[in-house]
A and B are shown apart, each in its own frame.
Chain A
C-alpha cells in the first residue's frame, strides 16, 4: 500500500539559552493511506514533537517529512490536529466552530459548508449546530472537535491524546465513536497516547518510541480488526497489550 506520510531519519533539538535538548534522534516510520497508526512511548519522550513536525509547526533539525508526495515545510492546513482538550471556541456556535478550518483556509464554499453540515448530521450533532459549545456534553464536544478537523478534508488526522481529558467511561465511548467516524470516513490517522490499551484498541499498527531522544524502538502489527470495544473483548487483546507493555518497559529501563 502507498505511504501517504513518510518520516525519514527525523531529528529535532530544542534550543534554549541553557543549551540544547535533543528530542528526536532519527525517527523513521511511514503511515499508509487510510491507516490508523498509534504511537506510544514513555512520558516526555517527544511524542507530541512528532505530531508538531508532521503538522509543520516545528522544523526538524535534520531528516525529511513527506506528506502526500510533498515535503512538509510549514503549517499548510493539510493536516487536521486534534488536541487533548477539545479546544472548541466557546463564543462560536458548533456549526461555526466546524467551519473554522474552512474559513481560515478561505475554502468556505457552499459545497464545503454542505459537507460540514452533512458530517454534523451524520454524527448526530445537527440539532446542536446552533448551540454554543458550553451547552454540549464532553463527549459531544470531542465529536464536534473531530468534525471540525474533518470538515476541511485533511490528508492526515493527528490526534494528541484526544481522550485524556475525559473520564474513563466517557473516554471509552468517545474512543468508540471517534474510531467509528475515522474509519467510516476513510481518514488516515496518527494517534499519540500514553495509554497502551487505547493504542492497541484503535491502531492498525502501534509504534513504540524510546525515551528521549526518541527513536522508533519497534512497530507492532495489531492483528485484531474492528472497533475498540470489539477489540477489547477479543481474547488476543491482553497478549497484545502485554507485548507492547513489555517493549515499553524494556525501552524505559534502557534494555
Chain B
C-alpha cells in the first residue's frame, strides 16, 4: 500500500524514468521504421532492390557470408588494421605531443606544419603511401595513422598546455623540474582531454582504415564494399556497411564503457572514504 503514495520525489523519479523510456522507444522506433519502410518499399517495387538492396536481402547475404567463413576473415583483417592504426596514432601522437610540450621552441617551429598537415586531405597522400610502403596492410595502417595522428598531436598538446598555471607555479616554487611538472600536474590534468581524443580516434581510425582499403586492399570490409560496388552487388555493399556500423559502434561503446568503469572506480573510492 505504501508504494502507491505519490511523494513529490517519487513522482520526479517516475517522470525521469518515463522520459528515459520515451527516448529509448523513439530510438528503436526510428530504426524499426527505417528497416520496415525499406523492406516494404522494395517488396512492393517502389524501390529497386538491385540498387537499394533490402533488409531481408542483407540478412540473407549476411547468413551466406557467415556460412562461407570468409566473412570473419574480412572482418578480422579490417578490425586488426583499425586497432593497429588506432594504437599507433594514440601512442606516437601522444609522445609527440609530450615532446612538443617539453620544448616551447619545438612547439613554435612545428605549429605551421601541424596546421597544414591537419588541413591536408590525407587521401591525397594515397599514391605516395603505396609507392613508399607497397600495397599491403602497411599502406592501410599508414593511411589510418595519417588521418588520426595530427588530430591526436594537436588535441593532446592543447590538453597539456591547459594545465592550471597556479599548480605549475606551486610546483616550480617547490623546485620541480619540467618532467616533474609533467608528471604531477600536466598529465593528470590532461586526462579528460586524452579520453575525448580516444573517442574521436575510434571514429577516425575507422575512416582511415576503410579509406586505406579503398586504395589498396585485397581483403577486409572496405575491400568487400569496393568489390561489391564494382560488380554491382549492392547486397554485399550494404551488408559490409551495416557490419561496419555495428563494429564502429561497438568499439565506441567499449571505450565509453572503459571510461565509465574508470570513473566508477574513482567514485567508489571517494565514497568508501566518506
Q: Do A and B come from one complex?
A: yes
| Given A87-B167, A89-B184; A104-B176 close (CB under 8 Å) | yes
Q: A132's contact among B167, B185, B270, by CB below 8 Å, is which?
A: B270
Q: In the complex, what residues of A have CB within 8 A of residue B175's CB?
A: 75-77, 104-105
Chain B CB within 8 A of A135 CB: yes
Chain B CB within 8 A of A79 CB: yes
Q: In the bound complex, how far is the Cα of B180 from the Cα of A101, in angstroms?
A: 11
Q: In the complex, what residues of B have CB within 8 A of residue A87's CB?
A: 164, 166-167, 170
- Chain A interface residue count, CB cutoff 8 Å, equals 28
CB distance from B90 to the nearest CB of A (A): 21
Q: In the bound complex, how far is the Cα of B268 from the Cα of A132, in angstroms?
A: 12
CB distance from B214 to the nearest CB of A (A): 43
Q: In the complex, what residues of A have CB within 8 A of residue B270's CB?
A: 132, 134-135
Instruction: Assess the B180–A104 pair: CB atoms within 8 A.
Output: yes
Chain A CB within 8 A of B172 CB: yes
Q: In the bound complex, how far is the Cα of B173 from the Cα of A104, in angstroms?
A: 10
| Given A83-B166, A89-B188, A91-B188; A104-B273 close (CB under 8 Å) | no
Q: In the bound complex, how far is the Cα of B111 from the Cα of A234, in angstroms?
A: 61
| Given A87-B166, A89-B184; A81-B273 close (CB under 8 Å) | no
Chain B CB within 8 A of A27 CB: no
Instruction: Assess the A135–B274 pair: CB atoms within 8 A.
Output: yes
Interface class of chain A by DSSP: loop
Q: In the bound complex, how far is the Cα of B176 from the Cα of A76, in angstroms?
A: 8
Q: In the bound complex, how far is the Cα of B175 from the Cα of A130, in angstroms?
A: 25
Q: In the bound complex, how far is the Cα of B185 from the Cα of A87, in angstroms?
A: 11
B2-31 near A? 1/0 per residue, CB < 8 Å: 000000000000000000000000000000
Instruction: Assess the B172–A75 pair: CB atoms within 8 A.
Output: yes
Instruction: Assess the B273–A100 pair: CB atoms within 8 A.
Output: no
Segment 24-66 of A: residues with Cβ below 8 Å from B: 55-57
Q: In the complex, what residues of A have CB within 8 A of residue B164's CB?
A: 87
Q: B169's contact among A57, A89, A93, by CB below 8 Å, is which?
A: A57
Chain A CB within 8 A of B96 CB: no
Chain A CB within 8 A of B174 CB: yes
CB distance from B171 to the nearest CB of A (A): 6
Task: Pull 28 A–B residue pairs with CB atoms less than 8 Å apart, ordered by A.
Answer: A55-B173, A56-B173, A57-B169, A57-B173, A76-B175, A77-B173, A77-B174, A77-B175, A81-B170, A83-B166, A83-B169, A84-B166, A85-B166, A87-B170, A89-B185, A93-B273, A101-B174, A103-B184, A104-B174, A104-B180, A104-B184, A130-B273, A131-B273, A131-B274, A134-B270, A135-B270, A135-B273, A152-B174
Additional A-B contact list (8), CB under 8 Å, known A55-B173, A75-B172, A89-B184: A56-B173, A57-B173, A75-B174, A76-B175, A89-B185, A104-B174, A130-B273, A135-B273
Which B residues fall within an 8 A CB radius of A?
164, 166-167, 169-176, 180, 184-185, 188, 270, 273-274
